[in-house]
Amino acid sequence: MSDVNNMNLLQGTLDLLILRTLKTGPLHGWAISERIQQISQDVLQVNQGSLYPALHRLERKGAIAADWATSELGRRARFYRLTAEGKRQLDLESESWHALTVAIGRVMKLA
Amino acid sequence: MSSSDIRVRLRAVLARKRVEEDLDDELAFHIEMQARKNAAEGMSPREAVRLARIQFGVGDTAKEECRDARGVQMFDEFVRDIAYTFRNLRRDAGFTTLAILIAGLGIGASTTVFSVVNTLLLRPLPFTQPDRLVWIGNVAVNSVGEWALQVDHVLDLRNQTRSFADLQGYFDFSKPGDSKLTGEGQPVSLTGIQVSCGLFPLLGVKPVVGNQFTAEECKWNGPGAVLLTYGLWKTRYASDPSIVGRKLIVNDSPVTVAGVMPEAFDFAAVFKPGAHYDLFMPFPLTEETNKWGNTLSTVGRLKPGATLASAQAEFAILAHRIASQHPERNSLNPTLQSLDEHVNGRFRPALLALACAVGVVMLIVCANLASLQMARAATRQKEMAIRVALGAGRGRLIRQMLTESMILAGLGIVPGLILAVAGTSAFAHLQSFNIPLLSSVRVDSEALVFTVALALLTGLVVGLAAALQAPAVAIHETLKDSNRGSNSGARRHNVIRGTLVVTEISFACVLLVGTGLLVRSFLRVLDVTLGFQPESTAAIRIDPGQNFPDQSARDTYLNEVLRIARSTTGVSAAAITDTIPFDSGEVSWSAIGKGQVLPPSQYPEVFIRRVSDGYLHTAGISLIAGRDFTANDTPSSPQVAIVNQTYAHTLWPGQNPIGQVVDQDGGRRVVGVVTDTRHKALEQAAGNEMYMPMRQRADLNGIQLVVRSSLPPAALASTLRAALKPLDPNLAADEFRTLQQLVDRAASPRRFIALLLAGFSTFALILAALGIYALISYSVSQRTQEFGIRRALGADAFELQGQVLFQTLSLAAIGVVIGLGASWLLARSLTTLLFGVTPTDPMTFASMIALLGAVAMAAGYLPARRASMVDPMTALRAE
């Protein structure tokens, strides 16, 4: 298990993970962190202390939008969804992420 | 900045509470979900919640970072600074009130002066392209002053000039109450002024209702027409738009209302400050009006490309040519001035002096506030040190200081604006003041912007000055400091504050010297030899309600008026004149002695007074030689005249003027010589004056009854009106004007400046005294222990007191020396404003040194006394 924040991942990685997670549909903060954890098979664990500031920052940038809605427990929760701008950003960044990992992979193989 | 960015930031600022609650809610939901998950994995509910909390981490950090993510951290800090400042200021109510009052007085004075200066100097005249308008005066040869132009001269100039698109003018000989409006109930006397037909189009002013005068209406004996001022239209005709075309009876002739001038058009404010007009009538430029002499006050509009200098050069040539072609006309010597310069130029030096004075006051205010802030900062050093110890950066402290002084200065806007609104409205209502456009002075949007900018600037200057010493706070030194006043921080503090106080004193000194010079000039002006005695003399217009068929009917009326007035109880002397001193509409002619040969353009201009017998005595004008007129100087008796000393000297230098003949009306023999009387301006000599018996002239330029009486003017007016009623039931209900009022009015601009400056100086002096007092008190309180020890060692109280006073005086002395030096240099620029006083008047300088010295002594006395009273035991135990 490792914490996204402690892994010194490239800046913006958490943002990218959040955007990708939201591609399938609106989720609240807890669900986002659970989803990332599950899919990464517990490798990536998102610290709430980073998750929420990141969500708020993305909201300010206009990549995601938030609405209050009733959660599966029947309680009010804040659901985040991708905006058009967010989709565009996700496309751009996943492409460059892909290019980056391929490049790093090549270097690692050679070395 | 994207729209979402703005939305988030705005929401963070405007719906702060809501946003915070939402954040709490969101994080609580997260913990709840986590707890649920933990429970599902088999934990007890309590354990599940506890673990969820631990897993979540320190909530406050997350929250803080979420707040940062909103991008309004600076703003939040600012809001906290403000809240903190208000808490502080409330705790220190005395200081706060004093600081706000000082800032408020400074801001109020500045805004008031700004409004005046802006209206009078900065703002263009309220006409179309005012910078192209030119005033054309006619400077007299062999005499003082400037005259109007003769009509034919203006017509010729207009035809021949290439510099001007047009020349127009007005007939500047109307007097208050000239136009009698009848046929609408009680007769009312209104004041009208005659303008040439193209004057308003030339200025670019159009009637709001109706039309300009037509060419037909501008002909001699053309159909009578009037344009009403907005004020008359509103008050008398209830803004009735159907007024256009209505027939009115003005001075017994029918006239048609052509239109109404705009509300903003204040002819009097620009051209005849202090006057008031109700009507405009056309002034025909014809051979008939040409015969009246120098009657047209002329304004021109420059053609594109022409300049004032080129126009002046052209007019010099044209005038020479026209004068030589028409030797029969009056002299022509046109001098050009921009209209703005003509209207406001006289007051420019005075207003600039005022603006500088208020600037100096504002600097003193800043120095004072900075010094107060520093004194407060000194008592708060420990608080500051603790804040530094807790991690507040130097920048953060300075920002806090700035916020504080900005808020103080900002709060000063409130009393400042109240003062400015009161001040400007007081100025605008100074109707007896002879200053153009003063009536339109008010605090407007420009003044508001100025006020806010000034307050911000003040806050900035004060805050930065006070912050100068903030970094001097060394944490550990301050925290362990036992306040012995011996550390370098305190010494530095004293040096900075000492500098501020010296600055205040020198500024106050400059202001005081300037004020002293102007006040002395004002007193000198009040002291000039007027040549007449304004005390207990009053004048009233008694133009009859009807026109007389001939001069003898008029003289019968005037004789009767004189008889009644002279037999009224309380009246010791009465006479009639058509010209009283310091009133508008003076007439001048050019006339030389019989037998003298001069080209007409070299004839001396002489002011004409047509008076009854006894006028000299009533007005208190001394007869130097010869005799006064008598009731026997009539049309059938020999033509006579009385001249003043200057005219006698101009025409017959070194000879006895009595018996000489003035070449006027076929020759007037001089029967008397009188003293000169000042009549145009208090500062201006009389020039040539000639008196003629009213019974020998058919053309009186208005009829003024002048009486000398010990009764109050109001009582006198009703008594006389009742007495004159049988003679003329239509006599307009004018009030008496005392000659003293007219003299005061002439002195009013100087009084205005002197009063304002005196006010500023007093304020500056108080601030300087306050600065000295605060500084000396502080240094005494810091040295309490020292004084205590010295007392214990046997120093006597008197010696300690003397020492503190010496410290005070040396500060004052430095300030005064700097201030005197600066005054010495600056006073020269006041030369144009001075009268009878040199810019380096030793009396003024000496008295200001004495005054400042005395004030400094007084301000230093209390702390000095406190120093001498220090009880050694208490002082030593205080630690």
* Tokens read off for B245: 């075309």
Alpha carbon of B779 to those of B200, B298, B484, B877: distances in Å? Answer: 68, 66, 11, 19
Residues in B touching A32 (Cβ below 8 Å): none
Residues in B touching A54 (Cβ below 8 Å): 69
| DSSP H or E run through B701 | none
B66 to chain A: closest CA residue? A53
| Most B-contacting residue of A14, A52, A68, A72 (CB-CB within 10 A), to test interface | A52
Q: Which residues pair with B194 in a beta bridge?
A: B171, B281
- Tokens 């309680």 map to which residue? A75
**Which of B701, B731, B761 corresponds to the end of one domain?**
B731
Residue pairs between chains A and B whose CB atoms are closer than 8 Å: 77
What's the N-to-C CA distance of chain A in angstroms? 27
Give the amino acid at B28.
A
Q: What is the pLDDT of residue B59?
A: 62
- Tokens 């490239």 map to which residue? A10
Q: Are residues B695 and B830 in the same domain?
A: no
DSSP of B412-429, one letter per residue? HHHHHHHHHHHHHHHHHT
Q: Is residue B534 part of a domain?
A: no
Round the average pLDDT of chain A to a whole number and report it. 84
Q: Is residue B759 part of a domain?
A: yes
E strand map for B56-124: none
Contact B839, B752 (CB under 8 A): no
Contact A61 B5 (CB under 8 A): yes
Q: Is residue B537 part of a domain?
A: no
Alpha carbon of B168 to those of B264, B280, B282: distances in Å? Answer: 21, 14, 12
CA B10 to CA B73: how far, in whole Å? 13
| DSSP H or E run through B541 | strand B537-541
For the purposes of burial, counting CB atoms within 10 Å of the CB of B771, is it exposed (0-12), middle (13-18) or buried (19 or more)? buried
How many domains would you assign to chain B?
5
**What residues of B are in the A interface, CB distance below 8 Å?**
2-5, 8-9, 22-23, 25-27, 29-30, 32-34, 36-37, 55-58, 61-62, 65-66, 68-71
Q: What is the pLDDT of residue B312?
A: 92
Contact B56 A48 (CB under 8 A): yes
Q: What is the pLDDT of residue B770?
A: 86
Q: Are residues B300 and B314 in the same domain?
A: yes
- Mean pLDDT over residues B360-389, rounded? 80
Q: Are residues B451 and B589 in the same domain?
A: no
Q: What is the pLDDT of residues B331-347, one digit of tens each?
A: 788 989 999 888 888 77
Contact B26 A73 (CB under 8 A): no
**What residues of A are in the B interface, CB distance below 8 Å?**
28-31, 33-34, 47-50, 52-54, 56-57, 59-62, 65, 68, 71, 73, 75-78, 83
Neighbour order of strands in the sheet with A76-82:
A27-28, A76-82, A64-70
Q: Nearest-CA neighbor of B773 among B746, B716, B812? A: B812
- Mean pLDDT over residues B750-763, rounded? 88
Q: Nearest-CA neighbor of B213 among B158, B259, B176, B157? A: B259
- Closest Cβ–Cβ partner in B8, B29, B57 for A59: B8
Q: Are residues B567 and B692 in the same domain?
A: yes
Q: Just give the CATH number of A2-110.
A: 1.10.10.10
Q: Which residues pair with B146 in a beta bridge?
A: B139
Q: What is the pLDDT of residue B601?
A: 67
CA A109 to CA A101: how far, in whole Å? 12
Closest CA of chain A from B70, distance in Å: 7
Alpha carbon of B624 to those of B579, B616, B672, B828: distances in Å? Answer: 21, 11, 7, 39
Residues in A touching B51 (Cβ below 8 Å): none
Q: What residues contact B161, with CB distance under 8 A and at least 6 apart?
A: B167, B300, B311, B314, B315, B318
Length of chain A: 111
Q: Which residues pair with B135 in a beta bridge?
A: B299, B337
- Expressed in percent and rounded to 5, the helix, strand and coil fractions of chain B are 55, 15, 30
Residues in B touching A75 (Cβ below 8 Å): 29, 32
Contact B5 A30 (CB under 8 A): no
Contact B30 A29 (CB under 8 A): yes
Alpha carbon of B336 to those of B312, B411, B600, B848: distances in Å? Answer: 6, 48, 22, 42
Q: Is residue B594 part of a domain?
A: yes
Q: What is the pLDDT of residues B812-827, one digit of tens each?
A: 999 999 999 999 888 8
Q: What is the pLDDT of residue B266?
A: 83
Q: Reduced to 3 states, what is the DSSP secondary structure of residue A10? A: coil
Alpha carbon of B252 to those of B176, B178, B249, B547, B725: distances in Å? Answer: 17, 12, 6, 8, 19
* Tokens read off for B159: 């035809």
Q: What residues contact B356, with CB distance under 8 A and at least 6 apart?
A: none
Would you say residue B484 has pLDDT above 60?
no
β pairing state of B640-644 and B689-693: antiparallel
At B306, give phi and psi (nearest 5°). Answer: -80, 150
CA B845 to CA B824: how far, in whole Å? 9
Q: Is residue B352 part of a domain?
A: yes
Q: Is residue B673 part of a domain?
A: yes
Instruction: Tell me how crowded residue B671 is: count the other CB atoms within 10 A of its CB.
Output: 22
Residues in B touching A53 (Cβ below 8 Å): 62, 65-66, 68-69
Q: Are residues B743 and B686 in the same domain?
A: no
- Mean pLDDT over residues B28-42, rounded? 85
Closest CA of chain A from B33, distance in Å: 7
Q: Are residues B441 and B471 in the same domain?
A: yes
Closest CA of chain B from A25, distance in Å: 19
- Closest Cβ–Cβ partner in A54, A73, A78 for B26: A78
Q: Are residues B296 and B185 in the same domain?
A: yes
Q: What is the pLDDT of residues B179-205, one digit of tens each?
A: 888 877 777 888 889 999 899 999 999
Contact B407, B86 (CB under 8 A): yes
Q: Is residue B802 part of a domain?
A: yes
Contact B65 A60 (CB under 8 A): no
At A64, give phi and psi (nearest 5°). Answer: -130, 160
CA B192 to centroid of chain Cα atoms: 27
**Which of B685, B711, B731 corresponds to the end of one domain?**
B731
Would you say residue B470 has pLDDT above 60?
no
Q: What is the pLDDT of residue B1?
A: 59
Most confident of B136-140, B231-235, B624-628, B711-715: B624-628
- Closest Cβ–Cβ partner in B3, B32, B57 for A47: B57
Q: Are residues B496 and B409 in the same domain?
A: no
Q: What is the pLDDT of residues A28-48, one digit of tens each?
A: 988 998 888 888 888 887 877
pLDDT band at B433 (very low <50, low <70, confident <90, very high): low
Length of chain B: 879
Contact B8 A60 (CB under 8 A): yes
Domain ranges of chain A: 2-110
Name the DSSP letter for residue B330. P
Handedness of CA B496, B501, B504, B505 (dihedral sign): negative
Q: Is residue B536 part of a domain?
A: no
* Tokens read off for B717: 């007016």
Closest CA of chain A from B50, distance in Å: 16
Residues in B touching A28 (Cβ below 8 Å): 26, 29
Q: Are residues B865 and B744 in the same domain?
A: yes
Q: Nearest-CA neighbor of A78 among A62, A96, A55, A60? A: A55
Closest CA of chain B from A97, distance in Å: 24
| Conformational region of residue B841, where left means phi above 0, alpha means psi within -120 to 50, and beta covers everything else | beta
Would you say residue B478 has pLDDT above 80?
no
- Closest Cβ–Cβ partner in B34, B66, B68 for A30: B34
Q: What is the pLDDT of residues B87-136, one digit of tens each?
A: 888 888 888 888 898 899 899 999 998 988 888 777 788 898 999 999 99
The full 3-state SS of B226-248, as one line of letters, equals EEECHHHHHHHHCCCHHHCCCEE
Contact A53 B65 (CB under 8 A): yes
CA A14 to CA A3: how far, in whole Å? 11
* Tokens read off for B618: 């009533």
Would you say residue A21 has pLDDT above 70?
yes
A74 to chain B: closest CA residue? B29
At B165, give phi and psi (nearest 5°). Answer: -75, -35
Residues in B touching A76 (Cβ below 8 Å): 25, 29
A32 to chain B: closest CA residue? B30
Q: Which residues pair with B611 in a beta bridge?
A: B577, B693
Q: Are residues B32 and B87 in the same domain?
A: no
Q: Nearest-CA neighbor of B403 among B309, B329, B466, B350? A: B466
Would you say residue B629 has pLDDT above 80?
yes
Contact B66 A53 (CB under 8 A): yes
β pairing state of A44-45 and A2-3: parallel
Alpha carbon of B62 to those of A13, A51, B71, B555: distances in Å? Answer: 19, 9, 15, 103
Q: Reduced to 3 states, what is the DSSP secondary structure of residue B89? A: helix
Residues in A touching B71 (Cβ below 8 Å): 60
Q: Are residues B294 and B272 in the same domain?
A: yes
Q: Are residues B157 and B284 in the same domain?
A: yes
Residue B253 domain boundaries: 141-332
